[in-house]
Amino acid sequence: MEKIVILDGYVANSGDLSWEALDKLGEVTVYDRTAPDKVVERAADATCVLTNKVLMTADVLAELPKLKYIGVLATGYNNVDIEAARQRGIIVTNVPAYSTDSVAQLVFALLLNVVNDIHSYAESVSRGDWGNCDDFSYRLKPFDELAGQTMGVIGMGNIGSRVARIAMAFGMKVITTSARSLPEGVERVEADELFRRSDVVSLNTALTPATKGLINARTLALMKPTAILINTSRGPLIDEDALAAALRLGRIAAAAVDVLCEEPPRSGSPLVGCPGAYITPHIAWQSTQARRRLLDIAMSNVGAYVKGAPVNVV
């Protein structure tokens, strides 16, 4: 029987969902969180480990001779040393395409929050401003319609394609640099043109050596002073110092980001508290439905491995 250890199950499942399907596959131990110095101790007898963000480095794997399977509770798997796992014959799987709708939804929640400033209006009404108003309606500041504006989508995978379709439903023009097959109505352009033309830039691309620091002083200088930057992908796509400087100088209008270079930002981030920066704590993937899909697929991955026919292997 498999010995299955979940090292950091809390963020995906704080108790509102169930790991029950794993009980049929082996002996299951669930830890809410695991500090780096506890990984080897907790996984010492495990044949299967599930991890969201806990690092499975080459040094850690070297101390886990019984380990045969690592299931990443996410799509990205940069927390696992894949080459070290291969050398040790450890199968690594991930959970692809579980959060497409959830992430795309947050892209527009962030964008509409910036454009329509609902929070400020709700606070204003709660203060009694509407009740004391001389007119039937008032504006805190002007706002624009999305219809007719241009969104540049960087990354046209599952999430980027969904973002593009939603943008077009709002009446926006969509452009991208992607070389993939594009949704109907999306225009392919060069990168500099995307930055120059876009009223909104949405980052939906993977973090690679080529995309790290994609948003930097040079690319920010190409953007319109009225432009809005959205990042629901990975924090290091952005040079945070350059973005903070651009926001403070008014080179772009706003940045709404769900991810930072350091998460949580224990060392601080130049974007935290920066005027024009709207930050959420990496919640785009966290809808109840997306987390349920995440767990279902992750547990199914373990089941397939136990049956000798692993799926979603990376």
Residue 190: active-site member = no
Q: Which two tokens stand for residue 79?
A: 């927390």
Q: Which two tokens stand for residue 167?
A: 């943008």
What are the b/e assignments for 41-52, b being 16+ CB within 10 Å? ebbeebbbbbbb
CB atoms within 10 A of CB 218: 12
Helix (H, G, I), strand (E, B) or coil at 60: helix
Identity at 140, one-letter amino acid code: L
Write down the catalytic residue from 20, 63, 145, 263.
263
Helix (H, G, I), strand (E, B) or coil at 200: strand
Q: Which residue has the tokens 């990975």?
A: 234
How far apart (Å, rounded) are the C-alpha atoms in residues 113 and 127?
A: 20
Write down the catalytic residue from 162, 197, 234, 291.
234
Residue 263: active-site member = yes
Write down the catalytic residue from 162, 197, 251, 282.
282
Which H or E element spans position 231?
Answer: strand 228-231
Q: How far is CA 67 from CA 4, 80, 92, 152, 188, in A?
A: 10, 13, 11, 44, 45
Residues annotated as catalytic are 234, 263, 282
